[in-house]
A and B are shown apart, each in its own frame.
Chain A
Amino acid sequence: MRIPSIIITLLLALTFTTRADNQVIRIATCCPLSGAQAGLGEYIKLGAQMAVEGAQPRFAELGFNLQLFPQDDQATPDVGVAVANRLVNDASVLGVVGHFNSGVAIPASEVYKDYHLAMVSPANTNPKVTDRRYANVSRICGRDDVQGPVGAEFAVNELKAQRIFIVQDKTAYGQGVAEAFRDKAKALGANIVGFTGTEEKSNFSTIVRLIQVHKPDLVYLGGIYDQAGVLVKQMREKGIEAVFMGPDAFDSSEFVKIAQDASAGTIYTTVAGPIDQFPAAKDFASNFEAQFHRAPESFAPYAYDAANVVIAALEAAIRANNGARPSRQAVCTAIRAVTMDGITGKIAFDAKGDRLTSDYYIVKLETASYPGKAIKVISSAPPQ
């Protein structure tokens, strides 16, 4: 009994957190930092950290102490909602960058909404996130119902895919984008030879077998790179030559590391422009690598932009408030007025909180190396 009680007492004693004084402004990041999705979640934290650390001197001049406030939502809705409730009750928190999972973001944003706390999402592509038209919810990433159709148009019109096999990862993200892709591809006259879901992460032998039976000329995966890399590798091992295509969650050098030679020829859609077109993105990448000793992957650029949107809005709101601490409501309003050149392209929001127009890039990995080359740019406005 003694040892556990000592541990519990110690932990409880640590609860004496130094609560922030009036000069502290915190930007929280909410993403999974432990558990199976921590690898992806961490990039959100790091991206935001870059932005916050870059802005700290500017805020010091304004008389504020800007801090990053990283939170772990464990990729589960109940912990996410609890975190949201913690944040709304901490007066120093004026903006949230998060969450990673749409399934967590939707219930958590219900909490933020009640307290007018701004949430800028770097990763929630589910249409529902902004379709509820909450004034405090905006996002940097694209929408499943735009990205899927953009991909489908390219697949059917440009690649002339006639037989398409679709796999999805049974998450809100993967299924959403896969269904949008399917519906558009069907409307364009392609033959959807299979549509199947899987929670597998490593053994895709059954799906590869199904693909082999259906002989598609294009395989689309609504899922994340860690699954995609393994699937395409196993496909190529079994001699399937169909084009492999997917959404923005493929955009990672880890994809190439997993799939190795099999990654060559993979095509994905993304709103994050390739680094050679955005000089700012190049700086970001090199700074990121210098600071964290790894390349900025997956959602790191989006998180960087999301945090910068919050920072820009904070600065505007502070100025509008004559240098005093702004209200949360003012930050929400200021976010919608932000226009800036981010590293993922031009950022401005519509009334729902989606980006006004997004350029969607079709990126192809010509060889088994990252990054790939943008082979087409499609401008698309979000549905109203």
Chain B
Amino acid sequence: MKTKLLSILLLTLACASGAALCSAPRASWTLLPVLAVLFLCLTMRLPRTVRFTAGLGLLLIAIPFAGFTNTFLFELGIQIGIFSALALGLNVVVGMAGLLDLGYAAFFAIGAYTWAIFGSTQASYFMNGNFPLAGWPYFYLFAALAVLTAAITGILIGLPALRLRGDYLAVVTLGLGEVVRVLANNLDHPVNITNGPQGISPVERPPIPWLMDLLHIFNPDASPALGYALFFYLLVIAIIGLVVLINVRLDHSRFGRAWVAIREDEIAARAMGISLTRTKLFAFATGAAFSGAMGAVFAAKQRFISPESFTLLQSITILGMVILGGMGSIRGAILGAALVTLLNIEVLKSCSDFLNTLRQTGFVLDLGFFQYNFALLPSQLEPAKYERMIFGLILVLMMIFRPQGLIPEVRHRLELEKDD
């Protein structure tokens, strides 16, 4: 009975928040209830169908509809989606298999460069052919190829890592991650493969006549920009769906159990007949494959790729997402990615804009006993400048007060709750 009531409540909330978003797509407060409902869809213990209906309804109907007026929603969705896929991939390596990887952005880079090189004129610097490859099958073909190359790189990086444990593994992956970035930054001579720090642009996007035709039915003035925003938004959601599906299947498979076994106790796992080599390499390859796919999408979406996107900081941020959400937890990885991305490109920015508006309009805060004129706020205290500081503080507080993450993995929860 209670479940039924809650389900109805959730669905009602979903409808209401969706309607509110569509009625005022540009007001940022309307995004809040939608996010809250999506958060509930991830966390509440309700029948799967209910959560899926509410969540997908919002993601596939309300947000695209509101996005026609406020395309920033698409951008937000795409970035959250890309980072979710990365967090899910890293979650396989770090969360499930317990292998600390500090160079994860390298696979993202490899995916991105795989498409960027051939989806622009860059490839003609070192091979013959008619570049960019712009026809429709090419992007999908190369996205698949990106998955493959990233997976192979994952195995190559995993090979030396096999012999190492814990912190040694961390420094080796960190080093190899840097190697990939430095190579991307330097391989513009003697042979120009990556165009070095200048980056590659413009990168082709797959043609989407079908989507434009569809859009023109609803809105005859729809621009290609809007079409592509919608296209990448839908593409990212589809990929996330696929990634989650693979993740869930893997988690419940022989491999998933083997990963957890080696995470908890390598020796015991080996004694049980688990092949460490195969299991670890498979973890590296799977984790890398997800980020390879998203790399290709990222390249096409940004239309520009340069080594600056694949720094150690990026790897660390993704790791932060996984830990924040709860290691080993699939829903946690998505939540972590969503929160960090939101914090980074929406919440903190809005705070800055808000304080800045107060400053410029000379708003006076009057609490009776305390008055402050915001026009006097010194420019060194500009809130926009301290976004990283706030992010750092949140990470620390989070780790002190809820180290198991927002949505802990079930196995992990049991382990942390028992007294050590």
Contact = CB atoms under 8 A, between A and B. Distances in A.
Interface of A: 1-4, 7-8, 11-12, 14-19, 33-35, 38, 42, 45-46, 49, 67-72, 74-79, 81-83, 85-86, 88-91, 101, 103-104, 106-107, 110, 114-115, 126, 128, 132, 170-172, 174-176, 197, 199, 292
Nearest to B396: A4
A110 B201 CA distance: 10
B27 A77 contact: no
Contacts of A72: 349, 352, 384-385, 387
A115 B350 contact: no
B185 A1 contact: no
Contacts of B29: 15-16
Contact of B28 (A1, A17, A78): A17
Interface stretch (B47-55, B156-164, B263-271, B303-311): B303-311
B72 interface: yes
Interface of B: 26-29, 31-32, 70-72, 74-76, 79, 185-186, 196-199, 201-202, 223-225, 302-304, 306, 308-309, 311, 339, 343-354, 356-357, 360, 379, 382, 384-390, 394, 397-398, 401-402
Contact of B398 (A4, A17, A69, A170): A4
Contact of B199 (A12, A33, A49, A106): A106
23 contacts: A8-B339, A12-B32, A14-B351, A15-B31, A17-B28, A18-B354, A33-B384, A34-B385, A35-B388, A38-B385, A68-B360, A69-B356, A75-B308, A82-B345, A83-B349, A88-B71, A89-B26, A103-B197, A103-B199, A103-B306, A107-B302, A174-B197, A175-B197
Given A2-B401, A46-B379, A110 B303 contact: yes
Contact of A101 (B308, B385, B388): B308
Contacts of B354: 14-18
Q: Pick from A68, A171, A174 the residue with the most CB of B within 10 Å.
A: A171
Contacts of A12: 32, 347
A77 B197 CA distance: 13
A85 B304 contact: no
A174 B185 CA distance: 13
A263 B279 CA distance: 58
A103 B199 CA distance: 7
A81 to B, nearest CB: 6
B353 A106 contact: no
B382 A110 contact: no
A1 B405 CA distance: 9
B198 A33 contact: no
A68 B357 CA distance: 9
Most chain B Cβ neighbours within 10 Å, of A85, A110, A126: A85
Given A4-B402, A77-B308, A83-B345, A170 B185 contact: yes
Contacts of B74: 85
Contact of B304 (A38, A70, A107): A107
Nearest to A38: B385
A72 B339 CA distance: 19
Contacts of B339: 8
Contacts of B72: 85-86, 88-89
Contacts of B70: 89
Contact of B353 (A17, A81, A107): A17
Contacts of A79: 344-345
A171 B307 CA distance: 10
B321 to A, nearest CB: 14
Nearest to A56: B360
Nearest to A86: B72
B177 to A, nearest CB: 15
A116 B398 CA distance: 42
B304 A86 contact: no
Contacts of A70: 352, 356, 382, 384
Contact of B198 (A2, A42, A128): A128
Nearest to A14: B351
Contacts of B387: 34, 72, 74
Nearest to B352: A72
Given A11-B348, A70-B356, A81 B302 contact: yes
B199 A17 contact: no
Contacts of B196: 170, 175
Contacts of A46: 379
A350 B397 CA distance: 53
A7 B394 contact: yes
Contacts of B202: 110, 132
A85 B71 contact: yes
B337 to A, nearest CB: 13
A15 B350 contact: yes
Contacts of B397: 3-4, 7
A34 B79 contact: no
Given A4-B394, A110-B303, A114-B225, A172 B198 contact: yes
Q: Closest 7 A-B residue pairs measured CB to CB?
A: A114-B225, A85-B75, A82-B345, A107-B304, A89-B72, A72-B384, A15-B350
Contacts of A71: 349, 352, 384
Given A85-B76, A106-B304, 13 more contacts: A4-B394, A16-B29, A19-B28, A34-B384, A34-B386, A72-B385, A75-B308, A76-B309, A76-B311, A82-B75, A85-B75, A89-B70, A89-B71
Nearest to A292: B379
B56 to A, nearest CB: 23
Contact of A175 (B198, B343, B394): B198
Nearest to B386: A34
Nearest to A68: B360
Contacts of B197: 103, 170-172, 174-175
A338 to B, nearest CB: 25
A50 to B, nearest CB: 12
A83 B345 CA distance: 7
